[in-house]
């Protein structure tokens, strides 16, 4: 799979948030991260490109399938690390000393700390991706996910992202939770 084929996957029908704009936003945030070697930047760039390549809201194994595809298509010297990072995006849990994992997870979750109007557009896009789910079930499931993030002592494991996004993320989560109840 080349970049054109990856881009086409992200343009598939039904992708309202997990689309090419999300990848471009993530790559833009990566560009602003200082202190990375070229090798680390390559790993993170590939992890970003591949982390949502498989995205079917009704499937529980999107991250695993995305990781497997990445491992088959990226350079052999980085494939296992790219796959490992992609797998972290399922739970967003990582070891305290996992610097690359902290950066990837923080980039992936940056939308939670967006300006309120952008966050609301993201939340609406997520609803569209789960349009097959009844309103009651969606509200319950979405609220459970948001509560898990809100209950974390640290939403953004990278300190720079935490300083920039944590307060607004918590405000956005509280606002959406209130709207869901």
User: Which token pair is 65?
Assistant: 């399938």
The rounded distance, in Å, linking the Cα atoms of 18 and 10 is: 7
Instruction: Give the position of tokens 């194994």.
Output: 61
* Apex 164 CA angle, 163 and 166, nearest 5: 70
Cβ atoms 67, 24 nearer than 8 A: no
Supply the pLDDT for residue 122: 98
**Of the candidates 98, 90, 82, which has an alpha carbon nearest to the alpha carbon of residue 41?**
82
Quick one: CA dihedral 146, 170, 157, 119, positive or negative? positive
Supply the pLDDT for residue 139: 97
pTM of the full structure:
0.95
Q: List Cβ neighbours of 106 (8 Å cut-off, separation of 6 or more).
A: 156, 157, 158, 160, 161, 162, 165
Supply the pLDDT for residue 165: 98
Q: Residue 113 carries which DSSP code?
A: G
What average pLDDT does range 99-103 have in this prediction?
98
What average pLDDT does range 68-74 have in this prediction?
97
Number of helices (H), then strands (E), in the chain: 9, 0
């Amino acid at each position: 799979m080349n970049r054109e084929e990856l881009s086409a996957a992200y343009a598939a029908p039904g992708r309202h948030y997990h689309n090419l704009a999300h990848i471009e936003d993530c790559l833009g945030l990566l560009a602003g991260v200082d202190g990375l070697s070229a090798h680390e930047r390559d790993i993170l760039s590939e992890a970003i490109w591949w982390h949502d390549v498989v995205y079917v809201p009704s499937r529980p194994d999107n991250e695993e399938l995305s990781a497997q595809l990445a491992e088959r298509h990226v350079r052999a010297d980085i494939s296992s690390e790219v796959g490992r990072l992609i797998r972290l995006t399922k739970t967003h849990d990582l070891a305290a000393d996992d610097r690359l994992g902290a950066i990837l997870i923080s980039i992936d979750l940056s939308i939670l700390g967006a300006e309120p109007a952008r966050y609301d557009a993201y939340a609406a896009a997520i609803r569209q991706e789960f349009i097959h789910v009844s309103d009651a079930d969606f509200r319950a499931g979405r609220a459970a996910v948001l509560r898990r993030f809100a209950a974390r002592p640290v939403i953004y494991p990278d300190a720079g992202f935490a300083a920039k996004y944590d307060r607004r993320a918590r405000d956005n989560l509280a606002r959406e939770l209130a709207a869901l109840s």
